[in-house]
Amino acid sequence: MRLSSLADYAVVLMSAAARHCGGMRCNARALAEETGLPLPTAQKLVSKLSAAGLIESVRGAGGGFRLSRPPAAITLADIVEAVDGPITITVCSGDHASDCAIEGSCHVRPHWQIVNRTIRAALAGVTLASLGQHIPDPKRPEHPINLKRTVS
């Protein structure tokens, strides 16, 4: 019950992109330094996000990328699905058919679908624009990323 580290990093990276390069282009290196992510990881994330259509990249010297949509139109669900693929907590919770080999009527699957839709709605309810609004957290105002390489 945990989404991948890449998806976690992607949310932080997109949040930084929405804050710093609003409209103007910025490159992966700048965002890597901004967020503290390793440069190769940031590059990999940019590739996936670009393939998903969330950002538009421009190659060559002086290139970079920019958000393809306004921050209010990009949700956590979009980012997570761009990196991890469709949000399906079980193999049968999605709307598509799954290769289920065991026979007999299933009492559980309809409930999984309901839970799955609820989870996706929770992720779709948070936009990049809302991430900009700072919710105070007195206990721990630190950054969420936990890179082992920085701990050592």
* Contact residues: DNA, CB under 7 A: 4-6, 9, 27-29, 38, 40-41, 43-44, 46-47, 50-51, 57-65, 84, 147-149
- φ, ψ for residue 22, nearest 5 deg: -80, 95
Kindly compute the dihedral angle of the four CA atoms of residues 83, 89, 95, 97, in this order, to the nearest 10 degrees.
100
N residues, the chain:
152
Query: Which residue, 39 or 72, is less far from DNA as judged by CB?
Result: 39
**Which candidate, 145, 122, 126, places its Cα nearest to that of 135?**
126
Instruction: Give CA angle at 151 (147, 152), nearest 5°.
Output: 125
The count of residues interacting with its own copies (CB under 8 A) is 62
Q: Is 150 in the site for its own copies (CB under 8 A)?
A: yes
Residue 66 contact, options DNA, its own copies, none, Cβ 5-8 Å cut-off depending on partner type: none
Identify which of residues 58 and 73 has a Cβ nearer to its own copies in the complex.
73
Amino acid at residue number 115:
V
Q: 52, 66, 77: which is closest to 127 by C-alpha?
A: 77
* Binding partner selected for residue 24 from DNA, its own copies, none, CB under the kind-specific 5 to 8 Å limit: none
Q: Is 138 in the site for its own copies (CB under 8 A)?
A: no
Least distance from C-beta 138 to DNA, angstroms?
A: 29
